[in-house]
Structure 1
Amino acid sequence: MTTTLSAPEHAQPQPPAPARKPRWVRPSVAALLAGTALLYLWDLAKTGWANDFYAMAAQAGTWSWKALFFGSLDPGNVVTVDKPPFSLWIMGLSGRLFGFSSWSLLVPNALAGVASVGLLYLAVRRLSGPGAGLLAGAGLALTPVAALMFRYDNPDAFLVLLLVAGAYCVVRALEHASTKWLLLAGVAIGFGFLDKMLQAFLVLPAFVLVYAVAAPTSLGRRIGRLFAAAGAVLVSAGWWIAAVALWPVADRPYISGSTDNSVLELAFGYNGLGRIFGEGRGGRAVTPPAGIELPAGGELPGGGRGFGGGFGGQAGLTRLFG
């Protein structure tokens, strides 16, 4: 006689086995990343020093740890560049490890482009599948301005990488209302501020709205976790600002672009409202610190203007497209 035993009532159903990825996915992703790397790395040295202004600061960081920390234009730490130093930290460390050259300066930016394409693929794949992820990654890789940006030493390459990383973290946070992933998104945005200041915050309204509406948890928990993520943004961006503010002024470089030797004034003046309203000096005249003489016209090497110089073009719609 054969008896059939029924499962206990309290037994939990087994989760379905995860669906296997189609065989074409891994080779396609590998081809996308390899093609992106080839596109961004091919004949990279033809750009030379790219933007001489940032190249000088990266080189200064290979000679002086203090210059690396502050983003100084010179190893003597007289004056910084007019941006925060995150991208200079990466390029300066690359120069220290491999010797300062056009390749050690520019390869980190190209690799930031490859990483951005990979993260974008992962984010879109989790929402819409591998096919959509591949199309999104290829779209970013082949965008003409991206191909230029990731082969150059401006801060934009790492800004894009950090913002895409933030978007990926938000997508992960949405799946299970994860606090950890939302905090990591805040950290990415905070370091984006340390790369190009308020430009990193342009994505915040979208990130906040998406999580507030779509996270699978109660409204109270969503709001609480968003406040926690805001704290992560403040901490990851604020530690360097606090260090600069607390450092003795006589023992650190002048904050170029600011009118009062302050990082916050640089963020909200020259790199903030000054950009919006077309005021290259943040709306106020700038006096260089005592003992510093600028070349004729107030220009620094590489075309950058010292101490909050002009930002090209007349304010208005045509400037956006010009």
Structure 2
Amino acid sequence: MTPPAPTRTAWHRPALAVLLLGTAVLYLWGLGASGWANAFYSAAAQAGSQSWKALFFGSSDAANAITVDKTPAALWVMGLSARLFGVNAWSILVPQALMGVGSVWLLYATVRRTSGPAAGLVAGLVLALTPAAALMFRFNNPDALLVLLLVAAAYCVVRAGEKASPRWLALAGVAVGFGFLAKMLQAFLVLPAFALAYLVAAPAPLGKRLLHLLGAFASTVAAAGWYLVVVALWPAADRPFIGGSQTNSLWELVFGYNGFGRITGDEVGSVGGGAGRGWGSTGLTRLFGSEMAGGIAWLLPAALLALFAGLWFTRRAPRTDRSRAALILWGGWLVVTALVFSYMGGIIHPYYTVALAPPIAALAGTAAVQLWRLRSNPAASGSLSGGVALTALTAYLVLSGSTWHPWLAPTILVGGLLAAVALFFAAHLTRWAATAVAVLALIVTLSGTGAYTLATAAVPHSGAIPSAGPSSGRFGGPGGFGGPAGFGGGRGGGPGSLLSTTLPGASLTALLRQDASQYTWTAATVLSNAAAGYQLASGAPVMAVGGFNGTDPYPTLAQFQQYVADGRIHYFLGEGMTMQGSTGSDAAQQIAEWVAEHYRSSTVDGVTVYDLTSSD
């Protein structure tokens, strides 16, 4: 398995254009139907469009009370788009779709450099037709930017490995560092694979390779760490409270709640409330479980088979073999990330698996083309045939028991097994017959994941936990090996649920807008998603008391009382909406109880409203 000779034709250019155009249509068509999608981030983008400070810190509101519980790189993109094109669903969601198109293009460019344009096109097609990718590139979570930056980093590593270029390797570090600013420590899961691929294969003495890696590590730290340093040095009184932390510290957020706490399950303020509770069973089968299988499992077994087959066929290649280096890069990315997702004991959601889509697609594309070229070798034809059969079986298990197109599962299984048998004997067929078999195998292989991706794109998504597949709006439906995923848009309901947002009615919206300019915050309410709905509807800042889970210690009761005394908050909204986590601060609950005790309430559009300018 060696890099192909330079192509003499330009056939791949129009094919790439068709792929990118098709991806754009898939990710952009009907995008506005999802509305605000994740209103938690949409409200922060709205805030960023109104205040540069809110944009920089990732504040939930333009008055800068508290930030979202993530580093803000993804919000920078959305906030700038909202500044340019206005605050609406399209200005927030279109950048995510364009990131998807960019990811497909970069993956093609990366795989092409080691395995040729055909492999790059297959890899790009697989990525575009991965349900988890279609879900996230049509949504406004930070995962879209993370994937784009990690694929860009992989491209830089491949370029660096060609001529032992420290410049390209440093650029890879910068891309990963900015990936950290999108989703923190998850971005670093690719670093072992990237470092190993360069260390093994770069055409330079060992000492230079180590020195280059040290420089790349420094660039990663610089790209990721500058923001941490700026926030740490910024006077706390002059910036918003760091949401998701208990000590108003971005360092705590990075290494605690959104860091090692995700691994151990010990996340202060989490609704899961400790290791092993609330986030599903851990183990090697987790990615094939009902919540995750529909989004990512389709080609996962085949990708692992492709990795092992590729390493076997390159076992005698020179140290600097680029094909093996690519296998180390993509395989290491896949294995490390999959193992972390499988065994992490803290908060994990099915859409996280989009981070597995690029390595799965790259391995599938590389193996499909390279093994096809070696099909006269029984081991190669057997591996290729086995990959198709394994994918057909996986699709059958994911879809079996589903009421959604019940004919699809057996059709894919039968078609896949027939194609697998034909592939095994493809070396003995005529050129045209062999080509027809290859095309049939590709169609069957992608039919399950493709159908599920189209179904994902056809469904509007909203709330904090979107799901891939044909069903939406349910929390914990059937899925995985035994039916399509039904992990819906959020649980709970009403004006103030933890994971979903309800926009207020016309009367309440008008009330919030009335005299809003006279107050720092037109209203306050417990939980960020509740605040997001009121803020998006009114266009005025709404304080999210207690942050996302209602467990952040901001504001304290004394701070809130002072804000009220200073006339900075007009209304308090909601009754009984208190902290949702089992650990963390109870300041939000104290505030809600104090308001209920001291202020008269009325009901507007089904929401309890306390006028903080008029006490009992």
Question: Which TM-score band (shorter chain)?
Answer: 0.7 to 0.9
Within the alignment, does 1:93 sit opposite 2:337 as a pair?
no
Name the residue aligned to 2:199. Answer: 212
Within the alignment, does 1:201 sit opposite 2:218 as a pair?
no
Name the residue aligned to 1:288. Answer: none
8 Å contact from structure 2 (residues 184, 254) kept in 1 = yes
Within the alignment, does 1:23 sit opposite 2:10 as a pair?
yes
- Structure 1, unaligned stretches of length 5 or more? 1-17, 286-292, 313-322
Q: Deviations over 1:93-123 (max 9, x none)?
A: 0011111110000000000000000000000
Work out which of the residue numbers 62, 71, 75 in structure 2 matches 1:75.
62
Within the alignment, does 1:305 sit opposite 2:549 as a pair?
yes
Name the residue aligned to 1:102. Answer: 89
Q: Deviations over 1:268-307 (max 9, x none)?
A: 1000122122344268x9xxxxxxx9745x5543694245
Work out which of the residue numbers 220, 230, 245 in structure 2 matches 1:258.
245
Q: 1:227 to 1:300 in 2, by over 3 A?
A: same
Name the residue aligned to 1:152. Answer: 139
Work out which of the residue numbers 136, 140, 157 in structure 2 matches 1:170.
157
Q: 1:162 to 1:256 in 2, by over 3 A?
A: same
Work out which of the residue numbers 217, 220, 224 in structure 2 matches 1:233.
220
Give the partner amino acid of 1:145. A
- Count of residues in correspondence between the two structures: 287
Give the partner amino acid of 1:30. A
Distance 1:201 1:19 in 2: 33
Give the partner amino acid of 1:178. S
Q: CA deviation at 1:20?
A: 4.8
Work out which of the residue numbers 123, 139, 159 in structure 1 matches 2:110.
123
8 Å contact from structure 2 (residues 269, 549) kept in 1 = no
Name the residue aligned to 2:179. Answer: 192
- Structure 2, unaligned stretches of length 5 or more? 274-522, 534-547, 553-578, 583-616
Give the partner amino acid of 1:139. V
Work out which of the residue numbers 234, 246, 267 in structure 1 matches 2:254.
267
Name the residue aligned to 2:265. Answer: 278
Q: CA deviation at 1:262?
A: 1.1
Name the residue aligned to 1:62. Answer: 49
Q: Give the TM-score, by structure 1 length.
A: 0.84
Give the partner amino acid of 2:224. A
Distance 1:126 1:306 in 2: 49
Q: Deviations over 1:245-287 (max 9, x none)?
A: 111100000000012111111011000122122344268x9xx
Q: Deviations over 1:61-102 (max 9, x none)?
A: 000000000000000001000000100000100011111110
Bigger proportion of residues as strand: 2
Find the residue that maps to 1:206 and give its secondary structure: helix
Name the residue aligned to 1:49. Answer: 36
8 Å contact from structure 2 (residues 551, 580) kept in 1 = no
What is the percentage of aligned positions where both structures have the same residue? 61
Q: 1:127 to 1:307 in 2, by over 3 A?
A: farther
**Whose Rg is larger?**
2
Q: 1:213 to 1:306 in 2, by over 3 A?
A: farther
Q: Deviations over 1:145-165 (max 9, x none)?
A: 100000000000000000000
> More deviation in 19-28 or 175-184?
19-28
8 Å contact from structure 1 (residues 141, 147) kept in 2 = yes
Distance 1:21 1:58 in 2: 47
Give the partner amino acid of 1:253. P
Q: 1:306 to 1:135 in 2, by over 3 A?
A: farther
The RMSD of aligned alpha carbons is: 2.2
Give the partner amino acid of 1:305. N
Name the residue aligned to 1:135. Answer: 122
Name the residue aligned to 2:208. Answer: 221
Distance 1:114 1:136 in 2: 13
User: Runs in 1 of length 4+ with deviation above 6 angstroms?
Assistant: 309-312
Distance 2:550 2:181 in 1: 20
Q: Give the TM-score, by structure 2 length.
A: 0.45
Q: 1:227 to 1:310 in 2, by over 3 A?
A: farther
Find the residue that maps to 2:246 and give its secondary structure: coil
Work out which of the residue numbers 11, 19, 22 in structure 2 matches 1:35.
22
Distance 2:146 2:34 in 1: 20
